[in-house]
Structures are given as structure tokens and as C-alpha cells.
Amino acid sequence: MRPKRARAPASHGFGFLDENAKREVRRALMKAVAIPGYQVPYASREMPIARGFGTGGLQITLSMLGENDTIKVIDQGSDESVNAANLRKFFTLVCPGVAGTTRTQDASIVQTRHRIPERPLRSDQILVLQVPYPDPLSFVEANGARRSEMHGSANYARLWTKLYEDMVTFHEIAISHRYPARIAGHYVIDPSPIPRWDVPKLNMAACLYLFGAGREKRIYAVPPYTSAEPLSFSDVPFRVEDFKDARGERHRCARCGSAGTFLDELLSPDGSRTFQCSDTDYCSQILEAKPCKGS
Amino acid sequence: MQRVLEVSGLSRIYGRGCARCAGETGPAFERNVCPACGSVVAVHDVSFHLLPGEILGIMGESGSGKSTIVKLLNFDETAGGGQARFFDGERTWDLFGLNSAERRWLRDNRMGTVYQNPHLGLNLDISAGGNIAERLLMNNVLSYREIRERAVQLLARTQVPADRMDEHPRRFSGGMQQRVQIARALVTNPPLLLLDEVTSGLDVSVQARILDLILELQEVLKISMIAVTHDLGVIRLLASRTIVMRYGRVVEAGLTDQILEDPQHAYTQELVAAAL
């Protein structure tokens, strides 16, 4: 047991979950790392937020947090949305000694929903993704037992058939987020609703990616330096969003001017459109680094 | 002579089975339900072989066990006893001694099955081309252009209009669904094709065209086939050799012409007389 200096609220111990629950989650995490991409079942606990609001990520993070950790929480790229701000506050409340941050490079653990930070994570950092639907095969096979068998024998022809149907209907693969990716040449995972832009970041990354689905009670992982290939055809390569306008020029962030980030499109009441970095921390840091105008 | 398939002593009992099951059922007793334990003896001690490029007919009334044989060979169900050896070029497969990965590989690569009901053989929620693509994708053909080309080829060979390949087979006529099923089964060039009542339920002119197609495929591709049917006309047209089944047993086997012209078993005589 770790020595406790700061005191946790009286109603529960450090990290909200009891030690046995945390141990069970950590055991599932070890198995998930040992078998990259395999969905490990675990006993998802009741949490003080509703299932489907990030309880999977929450349990993983709580099981790993120690007193010297620094936690960052992102929701759709933003640190300040209600979900992100409240989860960050919750972590610092139930884990005395843990500091909250918005700066990606200062965090030891980043919990996220829908985005992977633009700044590449280091080998001493862990990214925890909240997952609504862990099984990519649920699109194409309703029977869970048969899905496990398909995963076991790496039988993903039906997923590829879906891509084929997209090509026939739309002349391109029409999956905007949750793009299935094959991990270490065997299991195909649903990388949670990250945009296509973020999928290549899973491949051969320095950091550890952990995925938690609280409602579906599954944990899986992409360990560091593990291959993650988005499914595609040999003659129809996977591609990410290009953010080009009608003239073929790439949109820039209206705030920091970056032209190499994932952009959110903002509609103003007068009907005009602007684009802005989805990763607000990255955007702000670029802005801070710029020399101040007019002074 | 070289063989494609050799089946011996094939058995399948639905129910818990008992020592008296085999001895007290069959054509001699006119029943396939065991009087002692109530189990259904669907197939008992069936042996036959299949030669390269040959169509073997399996004929019998409903409940005679003919479809069970296809289900066993296709791994849809587990055999209760007996042996089936599949000679595929250099390799010999003991069909009932394989693990699930080998079974799946054989079924996806080296065998094709065409069911009476297109719902079983096709995914009606994806396009006709997609159904063919799926079987290629199972075999790691991952080039979109190659998949398209192969699908067009196969659909042309089975006389499905190329401009309908991106439509869902749900909107096709029964005959055309059957032709898509055949195209899907053929796309991996399997040496063995199992046909389970392929023309039952189709109208007569469509039946004739499907049968023509099957004969043409046999002629051109030299595929060995097992055709299960209750229809004497289909047997007469397709099969060079036929086995006749009743109550899970083979009652007569031989050249089709011989069986139809000079039936030996009382049941076959009845069957031929009824058809003529």
C-alpha cells in the first residue's frame, strides 16, 4: 500500500474506487497490454457519473493515479468543456496530491474523449480513451459469441466488405470517426470516436494507449511501438481529413494560424465560417509562443 | 481412379441416442425415430465417393437425410460417426478431424455451397458484388480493382447483368438470387461444390436456365458437385451417378440411367413410377 500523506475525503479512500476494484482493473490492463487489441472483460463499477459519460476511462485513470501524477482531461479537444473540467476536478478531489493541468507536456496521464492531442505524447505518458462501443464487429454481426470467434480467428472479411460497399456507393470510404484499425497484425479495434486524423497517431507511438468502455465492460490497449493499421484496400489507401477549401487551399486556424492541425468549423450567426484548432491547449501554446503584436 | 471425396459410415443422430437406435430404424422398419429412446436417426452408415468433374445426385423424400449430409460436409453440423476424406490436389483432409480454423479455411476457400434458400447463402443487405467481394476478402484479396474485376467476371459467367451488380440481391428475382449465390460460391475456384435443392421453389423456365448453367460450369470448370434434390428431373439432367436415400439409409446407388430405367428397390420403383 502506498503511504498516504494528504487525506482523501472521509467517504472513500484514495482514488474513489476501493483497492480491490482498482486491482481488478489493473489486472485487466496488464492483460490488455499483453494481448494488443484484445478486448478484456472486466467488472465495470458504478461511478458517480452515468454510464456512457466516460466511466470506462474514469475507472482506468483512477486505478492508475498515484500521488505524484498530473492529470489532463480533454473532451473533443477542449480542456474547458463541462465534461472535461468536471472530471479533472473530480480527479483532484478524490486523489489528494494529484495535480490537474491543461498542458499536454506536463501531464503524466491524459484522459480523453474524441481526440488525441496534436503534440506527440512521450514514453512516460499514458493516454486513456473513453470508449462508447468497443467492438468494431458490432456493425456487421449482432451475435456476441460469433463476434468473439471472428476476433479469435482474425476473420474481418465482413468489415472489409463494409468498406467495399462504401466504395461502391460513395466512391470513397465513408467512415469519419471510429475508423477500425488492426493492431499488431491481428485484432481489429474500434479506436473510440476519434477522427480519422488521429488514427495514424496510434501506429508505433511512444506512449501507451488504454481504452476503457464502462457500459460495455471492456478494456483494451495499444502498447508503445505497436503497429496500428487502419483497414483499407491495397489500391485505395487510407487518408485523413485534408481541410481544403473550394480552391484546394488548406484552411488555417483563425486563432493561432496553424495549418497542420485538426480543425473545428465554427459557424457565426451571420453565416460566415471560421476554422479553429480542435486541440485548444495546442492552439493556446502556439499563440503564447508568438511575439506579442504592437508592443 | 482418383477421387475428390470419399465418405464412409457417415452417421448423425439427433437426440441422446441408444444401443437400439441403429438396429430398429431404417427403411425396413419404415421409421427413423428410435422406438426405445425417441432419438431421430437422420443419417446412418452412409458411404459414397465423388470423382473429379462428376455430379453425384442424392435423391430422397423429405426427412430422408439428404440435406443432413450436405450440412455435415459443409461443417454446419457435427457428424456423429464416420469418416469423410477430401482430396484436394496434393492434400488430403480428414473433414471430421479438423480444428475450427481449418474448417473455416476449407469452407471459405476450397468448397462452395449453394442453398435452396438464398437467405442462407447470401447477405441480402449488401450488394450482389459485395457478396462476392466478401468471399474474396476472406481470402485476403485486398485490391479493390481486382475484387471488382473478379466480381464482374463471375456475374457474367452466371448471367447476372453487370449493371445490377451494385444492387442488393433482395430486389432480385429468385432465379437471379440463385445465380448470385452460385457466383459467390465459385469465386475462389473451389474443386467441390455442394448444391442443396438449388432449383426447388423456382418456376420451370428459370429452373431450366439454372440447370443449364450448372452443366455449363461442370463442362468448363470441371468442378465436382454433389446435388441434393427430391426432383427426379433434376437428377436425370445433372447427375451421372445417384444414390437414393430413405429413412437415413442408402437404399440404392448406381448410374442414374440405370436407376431411373431399372429401379431395384421398391421405394425407388415407387418414386420413378410416381414421376412418370
CA distance, residue A1 to nearest chain B CA (Å): 45
Boundary (domain end) residue, out of A178, A197, A230: A230
- Please state the rounded mean pLDDT for residues B150-179: 91
- What pLDDT is attached to residue A294? 45
- What pLDDT is attached to residue A119? 95
Contact B100/A153, CB-based, under 8 Å?
A: yes
Question: Residue A98 sits in a domain of what CATH number?
Answer: 3.40.50.11310
Boundary (domain end) residue, out of A230, A254, A285: A230
Question: From the first residue on, what is the mean pLDDT of each consecutive set of 10 residues in chain A (295 residues)?
Answer: 58 88 97 97 92 92 95 95 93 94 96 95 97 94 93 93 94 92 96 95 97 96 97 94 91 93 93 94 93 57
- What pLDDT is attached to residue A295? 41
Give yes or no: residues A133 and A197 share one domain. yes
Hey, CA dihedral for A152, A156, A159, A161, is it positive or negative? Answer: negative
**Residue among B104, B142, B166 whose CB faces A168 most closely:** B166
Residue A235 domain flag: no
Give yes or no: residues A36 and A126 share one domain. yes
- What pLDDT is attached to residue B200? 84
Give yes or no: residues A259 and A223 share one domain. no
Residue A175 domain flag: yes
| B82-101 residue pLDDT tens | 999 999 988 999 999 999 88
- What pLDDT is attached to residue A136? 96
User: In whole angstroms, what is the distance from residue B31 CA to residue B39 CA?
Assistant: 11
Give one DSSP letter per residue of A208-222, joined into a string. EEEEEETTTTEEEEE
| B21-42 residue pLDDT tens | 888 888 888 888 999 898 999 9
Distance of CA A253 to the CA centre of its chain: 22
Boundary (domain end) residue, out of A182, A205, A230: A230
Of the pLDDT bands very low, low, confident and very high (cuts 50, 70, 90), residue B48 is: very high
Q: Which of B76, B183, B108 is nearest to A154 (CA)?
A: B108
What counts of helices (H) and strands (E) characterise chain B? 10, 10
Give yes or no: residues A216 and A106 share one domain. yes
* ipTM of model: 0.85
User: In whole angstroms, what is the distance from residue B180 CA to residue B73 CA?
Assistant: 22
Catalytic residues of A, which ones?
Answer: 37, 253, 256, 277, 283
Give yes or no: residues A119 and A247 share one domain. no
- Please state the rounded mean pLDDT for residues B129-133: 95
Question: Does residue B258 carry a pLDDT above 50?
Answer: yes
Which residues from chain B sit within 8 angstroms of residue A145, using beta carbons?
Answer: none
Residue A280 domain flag: yes
Residue A81 domain flag: yes
Give yes or no: residues A52 and A124 share one domain. yes
- Please state the rounded mean pLDDT for residues B219-227: 92
Residue to mutate among A149, A162, A168, A173, with most B CBs inside 10 A, is A168
Give yes or no: residues A204 and A258 share one domain. no
What domains does chain B contain, in order, with CATH numbers?
1-105+229-276 (3.40.50.300)
Give yes or no: residues A86 and A178 share one domain. yes
Q: Which domain holds residue A115?
A: 19-138+166-230
Contact A157/B142, CB-based, under 8 Å?
A: no
Give yes or no: residues A42 and A70 share one domain. yes
- What pLDDT is attached to residue B90? 87
3-state helix, strand, coil in chain A (%, to 5): 30, 20, 50
3-state helix, strand, coil in chain B (%, to 5): 40, 25, 35
Residue A188 domain flag: yes
- What pLDDT is attached to residue A15? 92
Contacts of B99 (CB under 8 A, 6+ apart): none
Contact B137/A164, CB-based, under 8 Å?
A: yes
Backbone torsions φ then ψ of A288, nearest 5 degrees: -65, -35
Residue A13 domain flag: no
Give yes or no: residues A122 and A64 share one domain. yes
Chain A residues with a Cβ under 8 Å from any Cβ in chain B? 149, 153, 155, 157-158, 160-162, 164-165, 167-169, 233-236
User: In whole angstroms, what is the distance from residue B108 CA to residue B139 CA?
Assistant: 8
B132 and B187 Cβ atoms separated by less than 8 Å: yes
Q: Which of A129, A95, A124 is nearest to A113 (CA)?
A: A129
User: In whole angstroms, what is the distance from residue A205 CA to residue A191 CA?
Assistant: 14
User: In whole angstroms, what is the distance from residue A193 CA to residue B78 CA?
Assistant: 41
Hey, CA dihedral for A37, A39, A42, A48, is it positive or negative? Answer: positive
- What pLDDT is attached to residue A8? 59
Residue A155 domain flag: no
Counted domains in chain A: 2
Give yes or no: residues A23 and A65 share one domain. yes
- Please state the rounded mean pLDDT for residues B237-242: 93
Give yes or no: residues A183 and A221 share one domain. yes
- Please state the rounded mean pLDDT for residues B138-152: 93
Q: Which of A254, A279, A81 is nearest to A198 (CA)?
A: A279
Residue A149 domain flag: no
- What pLDDT is attached to residue A2? 56
- What pLDDT is attached to residue A10? 64
